[in-house]
Structure 1
Amino acid sequence: MPAKDIFHHAVKSALIKDGWKITDDPLFIKPSTKIS
């Protein structure tokens, strides 16, 4: 499992303050390779 980057805590805190419910931590997001 990769280490949490320097933005992990800041992003997680911002999402929680915005009303998001964190269900999976870490959540893996695959970046798109498509250019539109």
Structure 2
Amino acid sequence: MQTMLFSGLGSFLQPPKISAYNKITMDLLILNDLLIEF
């Protein structure tokens, strides 16, 4: 839950050009978090 909120804030704070690249990075980080949790 916290990671989803965090990624939302990150994409909100960044300019559009970077946010597309960052969204992919954040999605990978979230996937890593989920894998670690399970």
TM-score by length of 2: 0.39
Which one has a bigger Cα radius of gyration? 1
Larger RCO, structures 1/2 (Cα 8 Å, 6+ apart): 2
TM-score by length of 1: 0.40
Instruction: Determine which structure has the larger helix proportion and give its number.
Output: 2
